[in-house]
Amino acid sequence: MNIGLDIGYNAVKAVTDGRRIIFPSVIGTPEYSLIDLRENDKAISMVYPTSALVGEEAIMHSRFIQRREDRSWIEGDEYYTLFLAALTELEAGTWTSLRLVTGLPVAFYSDRNKLRDRLMGEHKAQRKGKPVQTFVVSECKVIPQPFGTLLAATLDDFGKVADAELAKGTVGIIDIGGKSTNIFAVDRLAEISRKTASVNIGGWDIIRVIKAQILERFPELDLRDHQVVDAVTARKLKYFGEVVNLNTAIDEVVAPMADQVIAQVTQLWDRGASLDVILVTGGGALMLGDRLKQVFRHAQIVPEPVFANSLGYWKFAQRSGNAM
């Protein structure tokens, strides 16, 4: 099995042949409903190597949850649990061999060998009510996160070049993630290091500001971070059953953040006149993309920006005989 895996500070995204998954990057204590009448429950409840609820179930039921935003989290138990949870979501068999491609932010890319060594080899996991599963990662490649978006746009589902013009071109990628924004320039599929940088600002900066405003305006609401994410995505929330519009509050926060990203991009690329195209990607593209397009006239928000990197990772894993 070939897997493209993107474990982000906000969500875990993974792509295989014909299947993709996404769930919040949250680990919680294992607590369950006294009664649950849902059919075909897809809750991620891990019992080995640790006992924990993962994703939406943790947000809803766990008294205590863990959500990290630091560089060293790739070495922690939380990251490993998210990794195993993703594998169990993708495959139900008791033994699976896989080739894995994943990514790291530009600023943290020097940690690639550390992450690769951790993910390689044999891993065992078990979900509640299911048998133990064994996953053997036979090959693992760690690439800069924004490069996944370019691969998604350039390669077909067999890992072959489908857009030769883009593959031979000079492309800028603005990848707006949860904690950082990666500014990545590529010429003929090779990084231009002097035009690449990382800005320590991302979607969670917007979430924190909006959460503080919600707590001030609606003190009776007790929203967890990912519930605020849902409210920002929908641009509304419910308060005592009434719908509250968040458009103005969100726009007021997004504008200065977008301006900061634009300032950094223009320092590296000016207006991007030497670039053939600028691809805007990542979860933050849905919030900042339109403002970036106003400044950079050849910028475009990629299809499915949340999944773009993981899709590119998977397409790269599909390449037969690539140097993984």
- DSSP per position, 119-145: HSEEEEEEETTS--EEEEEEEEEEEEH
pLDDT digits (tens, 9 = 90+) for 175-185: 999 888 999 99
pLDDT at 41 over 80: no
- Residue 66 is predicted with a pLDDT of 85
Q: Following CA atoms 76, 79, 174, 323 in sequence, which dihedral angle do they give, to the nearest 10 degrees? A: 100
Mean pLDDT (the chain, rounded):
92
How far apart (Å, rounded) are the C-alpha atoms in residues 302 and 153? 8
How far apart (Å, rounded) are the C-alpha atoms in residues 264 and 228? 27
pLDDT at 39 over 90: no
Cross-strand bridge partners of residue 2 = 99
pLDDT at 93 over 80: yes
Q: How confident is the model at residue 201 (pLDDT cuts 50, 70, 90)?
A: confident
Secondary structure (H, E, C), 14-39: EEECCEEEEEECCEECCCCCCCCCCC
Q: 277: burial class by Cβ within 10 Å (0-12, 13-18, 19+)? A: middle
CATH number of 2-145: 3.30.420.40
Closest CA to 316 of 90, 117, 148: 148
Q: How confident is the model at residue 312 (pLDDT cuts 50, 70, 90)?
A: very high
pLDDT at 320 over 70: no
To the nearest whole percent, how much of the chain has pLDDT over 70?
96
pLDDT at 293 over 90: yes
- Residue 32 is predicted with a pLDDT of 74
Closest CA to 270 of 166, 157, 185: 185
- Residue 204 is predicted with a pLDDT of 87
Per DSSP, helices labelled H in 143-183 are 145-154, 164-167
Q: 30: burial class by Cβ within 10 Å (0-12, 13-18, 19+)? A: middle
Same fold, 2-145 and 164-309: yes
Q: Which helix (H) or strand (E) holds 169?
A: none
What homologous superfamily is domain 164-309 in, according to CATH?
ATPase, nucleotide binding domain (3.30.420.40)
Closest CA to 115 of 145, 85, 154: 145
Query: Domain locations in the chain?
Result: 2-145, 164-309
- Residue 273 is predicted with a pLDDT of 94
How far apart (Å, rounded) are the C-alpha atoms in residues 243 and 245? 7
Per the structure block, which two tokens stand in for 131?
């048998």
Other CB atoms within 10 A of residue 262 CB: 17
